[in-house]
C-alpha cells in the first residue's frame, strides 16, 4: 500500500513545473544566450538516465562541458573540473543547470522530489537492496540533494573519483533514498523542496572552506577600511571632523565596507593565497580599491548632496592601498619565515647541523630568479646563496628578488672559499669554452655543475635543442651525447 497520494503528488509537480517554466523563462533565455556566447554548440545537454522501474529517459540540463566533449574523463563532476566551460562553472555552483528538468517533470519522467536519476554508466550498482531505488520516480530535490549539496568537493585528491563514488557515495545515497521515500508524504516533499531551494542558494559558496582560506584577510581588510577612513578624515581636517562632516564620517563607517568589500570579492582579491601574493595580485588589488572607492565617493555625493570632501577620498584610497598591500606582504613573509624556520629545525634535528646543499645560480635574469625561488622555497635541503652573472658592472653588489649578485666567473674561487659551494646551476646555454672552464673548475673543487637548458625536459622546450656530454658530477644531458668541445647539433 502506498503511503502518499500519487495523484496529488503529480498535480503538485505539474503546477510547480508550469509556474517554474513561466517565471524562469527570462532567466533560462539569458543562460542559453551566455552558453552560446561562451562556447559553440547546443545549449541543452540531453543524456539517457534511469528512471522509474529502471526505464531509460532523456534528462535535460544546461550544457556545462564543450559540446564536442563526448564521454571522455570521469563519469562524475569534481570541484573545478577542467572540462567545464566558464559558464559551466557558474551553473555547477548555482545548480541553475537543472532548470531544464522542469520539462522532464511536466512530461512525467521526473518529480520535484525523488532520487537523483543515474546515468547508464552506473547501472550495475542497482543490485540487491539498492535495486529498490528504482521503485520511486526520480526527482530534483530530496535528502541527498541537501546532504551532498557540495558533492564535488568530497572527492579525495589521491583517488579515482568514479571509484570513490561507486564505493563510498553511491551506497550512502541509496540508503538515504530508501530510508526517506519508503515513508514520504506530500507535506514532507514540500518541506524538502523548500530545504532544497534554500541549500541551493546558500551552498553556492562553501562558506567553511572559503572562510578558512580567506577569512582572516577579509577581517583584516574590514579593519583596514575603518583605519583608512578614520586616518583620511584625521589628516584632512587636522583632527576629528565636525558638524556636517562628522555626520558624513559616521555614515561612511557602515557604508564604505558595504560597497568596498563586495568590489574586492568580485575582483578576485580573496581567491588566491596570501603566501603567494605577487605583482599580479597587487595590480588586481589596486584596481579593485580604486574602483571601489570611486563607487563610495559617488554614493556619498548622492547622499550628502555634493558636500563631500574629495581630498578625504584621495587620502583614503592611498591609505587603503598602502595598508592592504603591506598587510598582505607582511603575512606572506611571515609565512615564508615560519616555513623556512620549520624546515631548518626539522633538518637540524634529523641530521645535526645544517646539511643543506649550498647552491650558486649562474645567470641573474628572469630564468635565474625563477630557479632560485624554486630551489630555496621548494626544496628544504637547498640553500641558494645568490647569483653569479657576467654583467658584473651593472649587477654585482645588487640584490635581485632577495638574492645578492656575488660576482662573475672570475670570482668563483673567492665565493667558494667563503661559502663552500656544493652546486652551481647555469640558467643559460654556455658556449663550449665556458662549459669546459666551468667543468674543469667544478671537477677540481668537487662542485656539481648543472646546466639547466641541457637537462632532458628543458632540452625539448629549447628553440635550438643541444645535447652535450657531462662528467659524473655534471648533470643536464639526454641519453645521446656529444663531447663538449665539439659543435652541438640539433636533434629531432
- As a whole-number percent, the residues of the chain with pLDDT over 70 amount to 89
Q: Which of 59-73, 283-297, 416-430 has the least mean pLDDT?
A: 59-73
Q: What is the pLDDT of residues 176-231, one digit of tens each?
A: 999 999 888 888 999 999 999 998 888 887 777 778 888 889 999 999 999 999 99
Q: What angle do CA 232, 275, 356 make, to 5 degrees?
A: 135
- Confidence check: pLDDT of 483 > 80: no
Other beta carbons less than 10 A from residue 482's beta carbon: 14
Q: What is the DSSP annotation of 329-379?
A: HHHHHHHHHHHHHHHHHHHHHHHSS--PEEEEEE--SHHHHHHHHHHHHH-
Map grid coordinates 670570482 to a residue. 411
Cβ within 8 Å of residue 171, ≥6 positions away: 130
> pLDDT of 433-456, one tens digit each?
999 999 999 999 999 999 988 888
Q: Could you give phi then psi for residue 258, rounded to 5 degrees? A: -65, -25
CA 412 vs. chain centroid, Å, equals 43
Please report the pLDDT score of residue 311 as a whole number: 87
What's residue 3's pLDDT?
Answer: 45
Residue that wins the pLDDT comparison between 344 and 193: 193
pLDDT in the model for residue 240:
84
pLDDT of residue 353 exceeding 60? no
Map out the domains of the chain with their CATH numbers: 6-202 (no CATH), 210-332 (no CATH), 354-475 (3.40.50.720)
pLDDT band at 279 (very low <50, low <70, confident <90, very high): confident
* Residue 322 near residue 230 (C-beta atoms within 8 A): no
Mean pLDDT, rounded, of the chain = 85
CB 317 within 8 A of CB 231: no
Which pLDDT value is given to residue 339? 75
Q: What confidence score (pLDDT) does residue 107 get? A: 93
d(CA 56, CA 121): 12
Contacts of 72 (CB under 8 A, 6+ apart): 83
Per residue in 253-266, pLDDT (tens digit) is 999 999 999 999 98
Q: Does 490 score more than 60 pLDDT?
A: no
In this structure, the number of other CB atoms found within 10 A of the CB of residue 180 comes to: 18
What does the angle CA 285 – CA 288 – CA 294 come to, to the nearest 5 degrees?
140
Q: How confident is the model at residue 470 (pLDDT cuts 50, 70, 90)?
A: very low
Report residue 297: phi and psi, to 5°. Answer: -65, -40
Check pLDDT > 90 for residue 239.
no
Amino acid at each position: 500500500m502506498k503511503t502518499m497520494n500519487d495523484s496529488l503528488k503529480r498535480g503538485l509537480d505539474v503546477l510547480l513545473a508550469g509556474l517554474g517554466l513561466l517565471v524562469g523563462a527570462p532567466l533560462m533565455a539569458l543562460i542559453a544566450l551566455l552558453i552560446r556566447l561562451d562556447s559553440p554548440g547546443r545549449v541543452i545537454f540531453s543524456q539517457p538516465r534511469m528512471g522509474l522501474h529502471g526505464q531509460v529517459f532523456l534528462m535535460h540540463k544546461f550544457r556545462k562541458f564543450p559540446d564536442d566533449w563526448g564521454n571522455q574523463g570521469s563519469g562524475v563532476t569534481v570541484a573545478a573540473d577542467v572540462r567545464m566551460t566558464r559558464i559551466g562553472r557558474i551553473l555547477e555552483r548555482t545548480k541553475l543547470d537543472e532548470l531544464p528538468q522542469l520539462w522532464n517533470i511536466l512530461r512525467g519522467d521526473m518529480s520535484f522530489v525523488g532520487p537523483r536519476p543515474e546515468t547508464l554508466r552506473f547501472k550495475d550498482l542497482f543490485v540487491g537492496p539498492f535495486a529498490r531505488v528504482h521503485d520511486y520516480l526520480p526527482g530534483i530535490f530530496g535528502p541527498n540533494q541537501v546532504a551532498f549539496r557540495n558533492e564535488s568537493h568530497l572527492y579525495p585528491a589521491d583517488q579515482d573519483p568514479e571509484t570513490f563514488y561507486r564505493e563510498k557515495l553511491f551506497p550512502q545515497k541509496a540508503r538515504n533514498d530508501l530510508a526517506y521515500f519508503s515513508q514520504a508524504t506530500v507535506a514532507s516533499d514540500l518541506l524538502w523542496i523548500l530545504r532544497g531551494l534554500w541549500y541551493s542558494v546558500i551552498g553556492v559558496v562553501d562558506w567553511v572552506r572559503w572562510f578558512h582560506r580567506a577569512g582572516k584577510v577579509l577581517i583584516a581588510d574590514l579593519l583596514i577600511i575603518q583605519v583608512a577612513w578614520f586616518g583620511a578624515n584625521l589628516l584632512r581636517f587636522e583632527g576629528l571632523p565636525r558638524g556636517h562632516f562628522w555626520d558624513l564620517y559616521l555614515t561612511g563607517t557602515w557604508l564604505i565596507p558595504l560597497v568596498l568589500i563586495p568590489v574586492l570579492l568580485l575582483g578576485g582579491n580573496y581567491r588566491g593565497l596570501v603566501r603567494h601574493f605577487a605583482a599580479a595580485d597587487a595590480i588586481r588589488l589596486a584596481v579593485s580599491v580604486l574602483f571601489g572607492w570611486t563607487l563610495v565617493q559617488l554614493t556619498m555625493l548622492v547622499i550628502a548632496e555634493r558636500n563631500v570632501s574629495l581630498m578625504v577620498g584621495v587620502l583614503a584610497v592611498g591609505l587603503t592601498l598602502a595598508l592592504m598591500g603591506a598587510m598582505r606582504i607582511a603575512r606572506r613573509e611571515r609565512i615564508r619565515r615560519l616555513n623556512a624556520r620549520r624546515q631548518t629545525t626539522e633538518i637540524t634535528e634529523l641530521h645535526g647541523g645544517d646539511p643543506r646543499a649550498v647552491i650558486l645560480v649562474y645567470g641573474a635574469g628572469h630564468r635565474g630568479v625563477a630557479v632560485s625561488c624554486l630551489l630555496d622555497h621548494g626544496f628544504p635541503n637547498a640553500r641558494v646563496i645568490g647569483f653569479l652573472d657576467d654583467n658584473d658592472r651593472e649587477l654585482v653588489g645588487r640584490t635581485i628578488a632577495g638574492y645578492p649578485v656575488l660576482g662573475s666567473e672570475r670570482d668563483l674561487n673567492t665565493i667558494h672559499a667563503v661559502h663552500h659551494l656544493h652546486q652551481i646551476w647555469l640558467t643559460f646555454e654556455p658556449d663550449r669554452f665556458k662549459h669546459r672552464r666551468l667543468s674543469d673548475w667544478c671537477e677540481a673543487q668537487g662542485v656539481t655543475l648543472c646546466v639547466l637548458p641541457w637537462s632532458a625536459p628543458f632540452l625539448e622546450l629549447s628553440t635550438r635543442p643541444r645535447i652535450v656530454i657531462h662528467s659524473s658530477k655534471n648533470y643536464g644531458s639526454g641519453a645521446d651525447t656529444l663531447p663538449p668541445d665539439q659543435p652541438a647539433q640539433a636533434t629531432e
